[in-house]
């Protein structure tokens, strides 16, 4: 009797990498980057600190036209008032968007009455909305200019109005693991998508990480050599995928997916992802 061939079964982390979220930034060169997205991709679109939602909505429209699933960022500090919020919600509803990501936003001074993500989430809940999924950010490491107590408190305020969490970039896997367990210890059970960089030029990644207040991550990244960081090819997140894989194996932790911060380096990131999946299939 011939033996049945052994078909390797991908682990949960690799299964999740088959359909990650590809975060993009509305800036010059985005149109070309869109050509490299896989069919039917889920694509969070950030909110420009200078151009606000006016730059996000055309990208969302184009993603819908191309058959993707856009996830627009709604930046609380860039929303002028409830009337504008109602208008944005109506437009997203018209486009068929059912997943949004609510952030505080990088504006130094709020454009209206919403200081942070929790304020906007409460207002969305009050006025009603069509979104089936509402994501919010979690911070695995200490923020350079936001106290830990504030980020912990903010997550508790946001959780009742959200359906999932995305972790901010952190290059230290041990810190991410500790953060996920701490979130669960605090009784917050929202599903988690782990945020990791895509394949991005190292200098650019350091600059962005510094700008968004990830001081610990910048120090960690600067210490890395060899596999994780190659000056010529840029940063690749292989080490994070390897070291964070066990989180997907514990159902109690509810880690469900990967959120790739691509900074519009879709072609290189997608090439890396496909190579990783192909390599696992051969194993």
Can you say how many angstroms the Cα of residue 105 is from the centroid of all Cα atoms in its chain? Answer: 14
Summarised one tens digit per residue, pLDDT across range 173-228 is 999 999 999 999 999 999 999 999 999 887 777 777 666 555 555 566 666 554 44
CA distance 108 to 153: 21
- Partnered with residue 209 across adjacent β-strands are none
DSSP helix/strand/coil, 228: coil
Model confidence over 15-25: pLDDT tens digits? 999 999 999 99
Query: What is the total residue count of the chain?
Result: 283
- The domain locations on the chain are 18-224+231-280
Per-residue H/E/C for 24-80: ECCCCCHHHHHCCCCCCCEEEECCECCCEHHHHHHHHHHHHHCCCEEEEEEEHHHCC
Mean pLDDT computed over every residue of the chain: 86
Residue 136, pLDDT > 60, answer: yes
Cα angle value 37/40/45 (rounded, 5°): 65
Residue range 253-278, pLDDT digits in tens = 999 999 999 999 999 999 999 999 98
DSSP 281: H
The correct answer on CATH 3.30.565.10 for the domain covering 18-224+231-280 is: no
The Cα 43–Cα 33 span in angstroms is 12
Task: Give the model's pLDDT for residue 280.
Answer: 67
**Alpha helices of the chain — where are they, by DSSP H?**
12-17, 30-34, 53-65, 82-95, 117-127, 148-158, 173-185, 202-211, 215-223, 238-244, 266-282
The answer to whether residue 70 scores a pLDDT higher than 50 is: yes
């Amino acid at each position: 009797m011939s033996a049945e061939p052994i078909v390797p079964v991908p682990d949960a982390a690799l299964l999740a990498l088959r359909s990650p979220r590809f975060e993009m930034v509305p800036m010059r060169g985005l149109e070309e980057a869109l050509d490299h997205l896989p069919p039917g991709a889920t694509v969070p679109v950030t909110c420009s600190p200078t151009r606000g939602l006016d730059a996000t909505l055309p990208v969302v429209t184009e993603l819908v036209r191309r058959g993707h699933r856009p996830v627009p960022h709604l930046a609380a500090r860039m929303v002028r008032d409830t009337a504008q919020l109602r208008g944005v919600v109506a437009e997203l509803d018209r486009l068929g968007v059912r997943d949004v990501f609510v952030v505080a936003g990088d504006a130094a001074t709020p454009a209206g009455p919403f200081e942070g993500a929790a304020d906007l989430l409460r207002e969305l809940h009050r006025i009603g909305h069509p979104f089936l999924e509402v994501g919010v950010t979690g911070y695995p490491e200490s923020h350079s200019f936001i106290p830990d107590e504030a980020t912990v408190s903010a997550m508790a305020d946001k959780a009742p109005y959200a359906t999932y969490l995305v972790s901010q970039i952190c290059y230290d896997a041990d810190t991410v693991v500790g953060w996920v367990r701490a979130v669960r210890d605090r009784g917050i059970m929202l599903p988690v998508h782990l945020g990791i960089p895509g394949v991005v030029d190292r200098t650019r990644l350091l600059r962005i990480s510094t700008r968004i207040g990830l001081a610990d991550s910048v120090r960690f990244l600067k210490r890395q050599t060899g596999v994780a960081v190659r000056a010529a090819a840029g940063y690749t997140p292989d080490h994070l995928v390897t070291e964070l894989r066990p989180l997907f194996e514990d159902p109690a932790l509810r880690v469900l997916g990967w959120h790739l911060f691509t900074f519009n380096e879709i072609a290189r990131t997608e090439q890396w992802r496909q190579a990783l999946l192909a390599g696992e299939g051969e194993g």
